[in-house]
Amino acid sequence: MVEFAGFEMPVQYSSIVTEHKAVRESVGIFDVSHMGEFFVRGKDAEAFIQRNTLNDVTKLTYGRAQYTALVNENGLLLDDLIVYKLKDGFMIVANASNIDKDFKAFSSRITGDVKLEDASDRTALLSIQGPKAAATLSRKAGLTEVDLNAIQYYHFVEGKIAGVDAIISRTGYTGEVGFEIFFEVKGNNYEKLWNLIFDAGKEFGILPIGLGARDTLRLEMGYCLYGNDIDETTNPIEAGLGWITKIDKGDFFGKDAIVKAKQNITRKLVGFRMEESAIPRHGYGIHSESEKIGGVTSGTFSPSLEVGIGMGYVETSYAAENSQIFVDIRGKKARAHVVKLPFVAKKN
């Protein structure tokens, strides 16, 4: 157990590799109740979110979710978020370490009829991920009447899981088929739901998954981790988030700074694969044959590929696929090359 964003969180229950493979091959369950949830309501809620996030929220209809981000006045990343379009407004899911910062930023920008509520402390979140996730939660298991296989990626339904009112979302941080279940904690409903999901997944060898495997799973997908790969020193373009940055949607907070930065990108976030037996770690330097050209933001041993993989910022001239780079691992330059993300094919 370690301290993480004010919570006591499990790094591993058994072993990182065992938990990682359970998710890739069968099913695992994550307690991610530390994440933040904000509800935005009022007749100006959509316009408020449109003005304060990077993606185009007007494209959402009820039952759909969207990956997006919050930036400061300099166009630098305060957080990456997921926005859900509810019947009566929106839910924004924020990273645990950024709950207070995000809520303060959103609150300071309210205009018009907007009601912003921080529901993080009363909202639980369970993430069930892996090829057997749908079977674990299925009607056959008796947990829900919802047709989980009918939920498309980045869509959700509101329904019951084991009698608990929930938002059941086809999202996750693993690249596998999976579902995230949001619900309000009442009495012992959290403990009840956790135990029932374990009972239903027993035949598939379901395992609880800690932060360690959560990190290796997301890194194999090339998903950014706030505080490592993106933070308040990075803009969305250099971080590879240009695809969620809708410059043409109209005015939004930080737009001018992002447009300016886009014209002068000097570094890019890339994925790389080691060519020798070495494991890259956050903070290690990245070099060309003659000089330092960047740094590792995330690195690990990939249980799926059985090789060292990582992400990091490099000068743009070294960002092309197959570019030769070297990672400084305790004074030794280990060979690596830039690869196209994700490292492992997505199945969701």
Tell me, what DSSP letter sits at residue 197? H
Whether residue 178 is found in the same domain as residue 252: no
Helix ranges (DSSP H) in the chain:
16-25, 45-52, 99-108, 133-137, 189-201, 211-220, 255-262
CATH number at residue 65: 3.30.1360.120
- Is 214 a domain residue? no
- Is 117 a domain residue? yes
Between CA 303 and CA 21 the distance in angstroms is: 7
Sheet strands (E) in the chain: 2-4, 7-9, 28-31, 36-41, 65-71, 77-86, 89-94, 115-118, 123-129, 156-161, 164-169, 178-184, 207-208, 267-274, 285-287, 292-302, 307-315, 324-329, 332-339
Whether residue 109 is found in the same domain as residue 250: no
Whether residue 75 is found in the same domain as residue 129: yes
> Over the stretch 54-107, which tens digit does the pLDDT of each residue have?
999 999 999 999 999 999 999 999 999 999 999 999 999 999 999 999 999 999
Work out the mean pLDDT of the chain and round it to a whole number: 97
pLDDT at 337 over 90: yes
How many domains does one find in the chain?
A: 2
Task: Tell me what percent of the residues of the chain surpass a pLDDT of 90.
Answer: 97
- Is 19 a domain residue? no
At 141 the pLDDT is 74
> Over the stretch 105-160, which tens digit does the pLDDT of each residue have?
999 999 999 999 999 999 999 999 999 999 999 877 789 999 999 999 999 999 99
The amino acid sitting at 151 is I
Beta bridge partners of 333: 328
- Is 54 a domain residue? yes
At 19 the pLDDT is 98
CATH number at residue 300: 2.40.30.110
pLDDT at 43 over 80: yes
Mean local confidence (pLDDT), 333-340: 98
Whether residue 149 is found in the same domain as residue 244: no
Whether residue 161 is found in the same domain as residue 244: no
At 142 the pLDDT is 85
- Is 201 a domain residue? yes
> Over the stretch 26-35, which tens digit does the pLDDT of each residue have?
999 999 999 9
Residues 6+ apart with CB under 8 A from 130: 22, 23, 24, 25, 26, 27, 28, 174, 176, 177, 178
With CA atoms as reference, report the closest residue to 67 among 150, 157, 148, 172: 172
pLDDT at 166 over 90: yes
- Is 20 a domain residue? no
Domain range enclosing 333 = 224-339
Structural tokens at position 229: 């790969």
Whether residue 169 is found in the same domain as residue 228: no
Whether residue 190 is found in the same domain as residue 58: yes
pLDDT at 165 over 90: yes
Whether residue 253 is found in the same domain as residue 329: yes
Grouping H, G, I as helix, E, B as strand and the rest as coil, residue 150 is helix
At 138 the pLDDT is 86
Strands 285-287 vs 292-302: parallel, antiparallel or unpaired:
antiparallel
Cβ proximity of 103 and 97 under 8 Å: no
Whether residue 63 is found in the same domain as residue 103: yes
Cβ proximity of 242 and 236 under 8 Å: yes
Mean local confidence (pLDDT), 37-48: 98
Whether residue 190 is found in the same domain as residue 55: yes
- Is 124 a domain residue? yes
At 16 the pLDDT is 98
At 168 the pLDDT is 98
Structural tokens at position 145: 């009447």
Whether residue 231 is found in the same domain as residue 196: no
pLDDT at 348 over 90: no
At 139 the pLDDT is 73
Which of 205, 237, 269 is where one domain is finished? 205
Whether residue 138 is found in the same domain as residue 228: no
- Is 215 a domain residue? no
> Over the stretch 183-233, which tens digit does the pLDDT of each residue have?
999 999 999 999 999 999 999 999 999 999 999 999 999 999 999 999 999
Q: 299 pLDDT band (50/70/90 cuts)?
A: very high
Residue with tokens 């009972």: 199
